C-alpha cells in the first residue's frame, strides 16, 4: 500500500486521472447550470486524487503534497465562502444576499424564466460559492485519505 | 420452544412493522405535497431572483445558505478531527 502498486495499475491510473479530473472540475464549474455543485464535484476530484494515492503509494504522494498545504487550501475555501456571505451583508441587505445578480458584472446576467439555454455568465454569487465549497471539499476529503494512508505506513515501519 | 429473547424481538419487529404500514397508508400520493406554496414559489421565482438555471443550487446556496454553512462547518470539523487523530508524533 505505502510502496504503490504494479506498473500496469500506475499506467492505467495516470491515463484515467485527467478525464476524472476534468469531469469533476466541470461539475464544480457548472454547478449553477447542471445537476451537481461544489460538494458533488469536489467528491469526484477527491476520489480521482485518492485513486492516484492508492496506485502510487502514500510515500510518493506525501512527497508531492503535504497535509499542511491541504489544510491551508481547505481553510482558504471556508474563509472565502464565509467572506462571500458577509459581502452579501455589506453590499446587499442580509447575510447570504446574492449581491452580484442582475448588475452586468461578474456572473451578473439573469436568464429568462422557464426552459432556457445554459448561459455560464449567470447566477450571481452562486458560482463563486461553488468554487469555494469545491476547493474546500477537494482539500478536506483528500487530506483525510492521505493522512490515514500515511498513518498505515508509519505503523508498518514500527512493526 | 422459543426463548424470551426471541419473543421480545418478534414483538418489537411486529410493532415497528405495524407503524411502518400505518405511515405508508397515511402517505400522500406521489407528486402531490400537502402545501406546495413554497415549491411553486421557488420554481416560479428562482431563475429571476438568483439568476441560476439550477433551482436546486439556488436553494442550497441562496435561499438556504445557512444550511450549507453548517454543512461546511461539519466537514471542517471532521477533517480537523481526523488530522488531529492521525498526526505524526515526535519519535
Query: Who's near A55: CB < 8 A, 6+ residues apart?
Result: A4, A5, A9, A10, A12, A13, A14
**Whole-angstrom distance, CA of residue A113 vs CA of residue B55:** 11
Interchain proximity B69–A125, CB inside 8 Å: no
Instruction: Say yes or no: A39 contacts chain B, CB-CB below 8 A.
Output: yes
pLDDT for A158: 65
What pTM does this model have?
0.83
Nearest Cα residue to A105 out of A127, A85, A82 = A127
Query: Is residue A76 assigned to a domain?
Result: yes
Q: Quick one: cell of A54?
A: 492508492
- Measured CB to CB, residues of chain B less than 8 Å from chain A are 44, 47-54, 56-58, 60-62, 65-66, 68-69, 71-72, 75-76, 78-80, 82-83, 86, 88
| Grid-cell match 397515511, residue found | B26
Could you read off the pLDDT tens digit of each residue along chain A, which spans 159 residues?
567 789 999 999 999 999 999 999 999 999 888 888 889 999 999 999 999 999 998 889 888 888 889 989 999 999 999 998 898 888 878 888 888 877 777 787 888 787 888 888 888 888 999 999 999 999 999 999 999 888 887 766 666
Is ipTM > 0.95 here?
no
Q: What is the largest CA-CA distance in chain A?
A: 65
pLDDT tens-place string over residues B38-83: 888 888 888 888 888 888 888 888 888 889 999 999 999 999 999 8
Instruction: Give the phi and the psi of residue B33 in degrees, each rounded to 5.
Output: -70, 160
pLDDT for B26: 87
| Grid-cell match 426463548, residue found | B3
User: For residue B37, what pLDDT band results from cuts at 50, 70 and 90?
Assistant: confident
- Parent domain of A149: 7-158
**Whole-angstrom distance, CA of residue B69 vs CA of residue B81:** 18
pLDDT for B8: 94
| Nearest-neighbour CA in chain A from B83: distance (Å) | 7
**Whole-angstrom distance, CA of residue A27 vs CA of residue A6:** 31
CA distances from A133 to A117, A143, B14 (A): 25, 15, 45
Nearest Cα residue to A124 out of A150, A104, A147 = A104
The domain total for chain A is: 1
pLDDT for A1: 59
Interchain proximity A95–B44, CB inside 8 Å: no
Complete DSSP assignment for B13-68: HHHHHHHHHHHHHTPPPTT--S-THHHHHHHHHHHHHH--S-HHHHIIIIITHHHH
Query: Is residue A1 assigned to a domain?
Result: no
Query: Is residue A2 assigned to a domain?
Result: no
Amino acid at each position: 500500500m505505502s510502496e504503490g502498486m504494479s506498473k500496469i495499475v500506475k499506467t492505467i491510473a495516470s491515463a484515467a486521472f485527467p478525464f476524472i479530473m476534468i469531469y469533476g472540475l466541470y461539475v464544480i464549474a457548472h454547478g449553477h447550470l447542471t445537476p451537481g455543485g461544489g460538494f458533488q464535484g469536489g467528491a469526484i476530484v477527491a476520489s480521482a486524487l485518492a485513486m492516484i494515492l492508492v496506485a502510487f503509494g502514500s510515500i510518493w504522494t506525501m512527497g508531492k503534497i503535504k497535509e499542511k498545504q491541504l489544510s491551508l487550501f481547505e481553510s482558504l475555501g471556508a474563509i472565502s465562502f464565509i467572506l462571500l456571505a458577509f459581502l452579501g451583508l455589506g453590499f446587499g441587505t442580509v447575510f447570504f444576499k446574492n449581491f452580484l445578480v442582475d448588475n452586468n458584472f461578474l456572473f451578473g446576467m439573469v436568464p429568462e424564466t422557464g426552459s432556457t439555454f445554459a448561459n455560464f455568465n449567470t447566477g450571481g454569487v452562486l458560482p463563486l460559492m461553488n468554487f469555494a465549497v469545491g476547493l474546500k471539499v477537494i482539500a478536506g476529503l483528500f487530506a483525510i485519505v492521505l493522512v490515514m494512508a500515511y498513518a498505515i505506513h508509519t505503523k508498518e515501519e514500527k512493526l | 420452544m422459543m426463548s424470551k429473547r426471541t419473543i421480545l424481538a418478534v414483538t418489537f419487529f411486529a410493532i415497528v412493522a405495524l407503524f411502518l404500514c400505518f405511515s405508508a397508508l397515511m402517505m400522500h400520493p406521489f407528486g402531490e405535497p400537502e402545501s406546495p406554496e413554497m415549491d411553486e414559489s421557488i420554481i416560479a421565482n428562482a431563475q429571476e431572483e438568483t439568476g441560476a438555471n439550477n433551482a436546486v443550487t439556488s436553494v442550497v446556496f441562496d435561499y438556504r445558505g445557512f444550511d450549507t454553512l453548517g454543512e461546511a462547518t461539519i466537514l471542517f470539523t471532521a477533517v480537523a478531527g481526523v488530522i488531529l487523530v492521525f498526526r505524526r508524533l515526535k519519535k
